[in-house]
Amino acid sequence: MHRKSTGTIDDNNSKSCGENSDEDKMLENSCDFGPIFDSSDFESTIFIKSKLNRHSKSNSTPLNIEPKIHVKKASDIRHRSLGGEARREAQKFVKNAVIVARRISRYGYQLMNHWDLPDWLRDNVYLHHFHRPQLATFRLCFKSMFSIHTETGNIWTHLIGLAILFFSMIYIFARPFFTTDGYPYYPKGFKEYLSFAAFFAGGCSCLTFSWLFHTLYCHSPKINKLFAKLDYCGISLLICGSMIPVFYFSYYCHVSLMITYMVIATFMAMLCIIASLMDIMSTPKFRPIRGCIFLAFGLSSVVPIFHHFIIYPSSYTLEVTQLYMLIIMGSLYVTGCLIYMFLIPERYFPGKLNIVAHSHQIFHVCVVVAAMIHLYAICKMSSFWVARGRSCPGGEL
């Protein structure tokens, strides 16, 4: 009579799953299911091995034994590990995104998170990733223009805008020397050239200081602060340079008022430049105050336009000042400034708009588009006086 197994075996007969016996080969699949076995499966495995040992000594016929293994439900395992898997997938996604950005750059530096940056490089708390580290040479800074990071869009929006404005200047200034047929937008005389030159000088200065600042932003604290001040000075020059041709053509026949408003605009620009050169104004904390200063300076041009309505008939004012174009231009400047001040839209999508579509890029686009609309407006103002032979009906006042 065969004696029933008690569930224990001698040490001589015990073998690990890694050994090469025939019995273990039959059970090697059991070794692979470790994570989904219950603790009671150990007794079932020992019973099967004991049965195989006795049968192999007495009979060469294979013994078919189907072990009863209690396997846990896959749904239980999935529910239990769902939170961990989601967390691992999120971490993997972020890690891969950072690796891709680093591989794209390939310029000898690693992009950083906002919280790993030194204090002088922290500006926008809602941009979490893809920041350049400190690049201590100008060569590396300029080389970084061609890589992907948080400042790439800021650099190229104003660099491309500068190229457009510069070639527009060459076209407007050079065209009259070749032909004026069908071309009413040309300056004639020193004063008109000077008014156009004031706009182009202000616009090109603003865009130049801007793209240089965003390129050299990560060089050092000293360079950062210097070009930040130049950037703000450039904004003041753009506003003042935009006002000069408007005052010139609006008060073409009222020279005393023209000069008065030009002097006031220049004086206000100097005050803004002095404020921009203060160290405290370069800090992120004073971003709203900077925005309010430039906004107030730009909106001050409403006063001369309103004055023009008082002096001249409204139909004349609308035509000579190209008021509709100026309203569109001003709306773009105001919208861009408010977006810049309140960090919209990244405030509502923190960490999602690190590369494109954050507030500073939108502000830059608004500035470039507004500058081109303003250029078209002053060209139309010039054509107004070209059509009238550049003469005042009642003479100059």
Q: How far apart are CA 355 and CA 360, in angstroms?
A: 11
pLDDT of residue 338: 93
Q: Which residues pair with 71 in a beta bridge?
A: 37
Q: What is the pLDDT of residue 37?
A: 40
Question: Does 37 map to a domain?
Answer: no
List the binding residues for Zn(2+).
214, 360, 364
What is the DSSP-derived secondary structure letter of residue 12? Answer: T
Instruction: Examine residue 309 and state whether it is found in any structural domain, yes or no.
Output: yes
The per-residue pLDDT for 10 is 45
Output the DSSP codes for 94-131: HHHHHHHHHHHH-SS---B-GGGS-GGG---TT--S-B
Q: Residue 11: its pLDDT value, please?
A: 46
Report DSSP letters for 332-366, one per residue. HHHHHHHHHHHTTTTTTSTTT-SSSS-HHHHHHHH
* pLDDT at position 92: 79
pLDDT at 99: 67
* CA dist., res. 152 & res. 120, Å (int): 19
Q: What is the number of structural domains in the chain?
A: 1
* The pLDDT value given to residue 249: 94
* pLDDT value of position 130: 94
Which range of residues forms the domain containing residue 290? 138-388
For residue 192, tell me if it sits in a domain: yes
In a domain, 271, yes or no: yes
Question: For the domain that residue 322 is a member of, what is the CATH number?
Answer: 1.20.1070
* pLDDT of 43: 46
Is the pTM here over 0.95, yes or no? no
Q: What tokens does 173 get?
A: 């200034």
What is the structure's pLDDT at 1? 44
Q: Cite the annotated binding site by residue number.
A: 214, 360, 364
Domain for residue 113, yes or no? no
List the chain pLDDT tens, one digit each, 397 residues: 444 444 444 444 444 444 444 444 444 444 443 333 444 444 444 444 455 455 455 554 454 544 444 444 555 555 555 567 777 777 777 777 666 555 555 566 889 999 999 999 999 999 999 999 999 899 999 999 999 999 999 999 999 999 999 999 999 888 877 766 666 666 777 888 999 999 999 999 999 999 999 999 999 999 999 999 999 999 999 999 999 999 999 999 999 999 999 999 999 999 999 988 988 887 888 888 888 999 999 999 999 999 999 999 998 999 999 999 999 999 999 999 999 999 999 999 999 999 999 999 999 999 999 999 999 999 999 888 888 877 886 666 5
Report the Cα–Cα distance between both ends of the chain, in Å, rounded: 134
155's CB contacts (< 8 A; 6+ apart) are 145, 211, 214, 215
